[in-house]
Chain A
Amino acid sequence: DAGITQSPRYKITETGRQVTLMCHQTWSHSYMFWYRQDLGHGLRLIYYSAAADITDKGEVPDGYVVSRSKTENFPLTLESATRSQTSVYFCASSDPSGAGGTDTQYFGPGTRLTVL
């Protein structure tokens, strides 16, 4: 199906473990984003990517790693998970160079991550 998908939808892990959250979009959008959503903080940008092999830090990048070898995929890795990384993670994509040329973002359904 077309759109933006995230996997897994739910994940429970332990402190210190490595976790990778997957994001896949079928629109060939150039930009992709990772956010975390916590009560009282709204959405905060972790990392973003303007194109394959181009990534940059957002507001809260510490403890996270991203890569983008293909336009359609943008995995987010927590190298050594901490309890403070318990959150809901959203992936999004946008196509500023497309018709209309806006920064409208299209969001995935989210991954709820719990770090014990």
Chain B
Amino acid sequence: SQQGEEDPQALSIQEGENATMNCSYKTSINNLQWYRQNSGRGLVHLILIRSNEREKHSGRLRVTLDTSKKSSSLLITASRAADTASYFCATDTSGSARQLTFGSGTQLTVLP
């Protein structure tokens, strides 16, 4: 079973627009991570937010975490064609043996 579920499953925007992806999870977590996967490639870590943090920034990325709602969002500002990829949230559940549970991902397409 998947801990994290991303929404929407697919998102298509124009270059320069902002893209927002959401992730919901079921059980308490130590941290939540976002990964990017370009077509035919492995996943690449983008950003980690700990359970005691509410917002985190990294370049054009902004992640929020609401533990009361068990949800997170990833905002990519001023999107570029190179941002076209699948984005996954991954949760590190309390008591787990360093495992991450991945959602099914959001496919983002940025049109030039």
Q: Which residues of A contact B41 (CB under 8 A)?
A: 109-110
> Which residues 28-67 of A have a CB within 8 angstroms of B?
31, 33, 35, 40-43, 45, 48, 50, 56, 58
Which candidate, A13-21, A70-78, A79-87, A98-106, is the interface stretch facing chain B? A98-106
B-binding residues in A (CB < 8 A): 31, 33, 35, 40-43, 45, 48, 50, 56, 58, 90, 92, 94, 96, 102-110
Q: Which residues of B contact A94 (CB under 8 A)?
A: 98
Q: Across the interface, name the chain A residue whose C-beta is closest to B47.
A: A104
Say yes or no: is B26 at the interface (Cβ < 8 Å to chain A). no
A-binding residues in B (CB < 8 A): 2, 30-31, 33, 35, 40-45, 48, 88, 90, 92, 97-105
Number of A-B contacts (CB under 8 A): 55
Flag if B88 contacts A103 (CB, 8 Å).
Answer: no
Flag if A105 contacts B104 (CB, 8 Å).
Answer: no
Query: Given contacts A41-B104, A42-B105, is CB(A108)–CB(B42) below 8 Å?
Result: yes
Cβ contacts A to B, 17 pairs, < 8 Å:
A31-B98, A40-B104, A42-B103, A42-B104, A48-B97, A50-B97, A58-B99, A90-B43, A96-B98, A102-B31, A103-B30, A103-B31, A104-B48, A105-B90, A105-B100, A107-B35, A110-B41
Flag if B48 contacts A102 (CB, 8 Å).
Answer: yes
3 tightest Cβ-Cβ pairs between the two chains A and B: A107-B42, A42-B104, A43-B102
